[in-house]
Amino acid sequence: MLTIRQYGDPVLKQATKDVEEIDASVAKLVEDMLETMYAAPGVGLAANQVGVQRRLFVYDIGDGPQAIINPRITETSGEWAFEEGCLSVPGLSWTIVRPNQVHLTGLDLDGNELSIDAEEYQGRVFQHEVDHLDGTLLVERLDEDQRRQALQVLRSRVLAR
Ligand code: ZN
């Protein structure tokens, strides 16, 4: 089981690096990340949330475990408001407006190219996880009022540690 890094950990603000070779270490990382995600429990987990600076995430929105290597969102459209939380910012959630439809490219664990059109919940998970891999937390997606309140809570948490 891996430790999920929490808000304030600098690793969450660093962009990850592309996976160059999908080898046994990547397969093992995916396995450990899935176990950690299910135990949390959560529906998605990005590698830098467990302190690994590699561009991949895992998720399960009810269709079984999935891993996406070197994911990129190439197109977005529409708008959708959804209450979003994050395993690195536990116990808090906010209604966040983001694009509804996204197109995501990447590789599966066998190195096959993926090209996925997603919307609503799946589209939201993709955007949230790709944000992580770019070093962006959901706190940066809040409106001004939400953000002010969030930062008060989060700063006091960091100071209490
Ligand atoms: Zn998250």
Neighbours of ion ligand 1 (CB under 5 A): 86
Within a domain: residue 4?
A: no
Summary mean pLDDT of the chain: 96
Within a domain: residue 1?
A: no
- Local structure of 85: helix, strand or coil: strand
For residue range 84-134, list pLDDT tens digits in order.
Answer: 999 999 999 999 999 999 999 999 999 999 999 999 999 999 999 999 999
For residue range 10-34, list pLDDT tens digits in order.
Answer: 999 999 999 999 999 999 999 999 9
Within a domain: residue 3?
A: no
Within a domain: residue 5?
A: no
pLDDT, position 12: 98
Overall domain count for the chain: 1
- Catalytic entry in 83, 113, 120, 129: 129
For ligand 1, the distance from its centroid to the CA atom of residue 138, given in whole angstroms, is 7
Within a domain: residue 59?
A: yes
Q: What is the CATH number of the domain that holds 68?
A: 3.90.45.10
Is 129 catalytic? The answer is yes
State the Cα–Cα distance between residues 58 and 64, nearest whole angstrom. Answer: 10
For ligand 1, the distance from its centroid to the CA atom of residue 42, given in whole angstroms, is 9
In this structure, how many other beta carbons lie within 10 angstroms of the beta carbon of residue 121? Answer: 13
CA distances from 148 to 73, 85, 121 (A): 28, 17, 26
- Local structure of 106: helix, strand or coil: strand
State the Cα–Cα distance between residues 133 and 124, nearest whole angstrom. Answer: 14
Residue pair 97/79 in contact by the 8 Å Cβ criterion: yes
Within a domain: residue 112?
A: yes
Within a domain: residue 130?
A: yes
For ligand 1, the distance from its centroid to the CA atom of residue 86, given in whole angstroms, is 4
Within a domain: residue 108?
A: yes
pLDDT, position 61: 97
From 55, 60, 11, select the one nearest 29 (Cα to Cα).
Answer: 55
Range of the domain at 25: 10-160
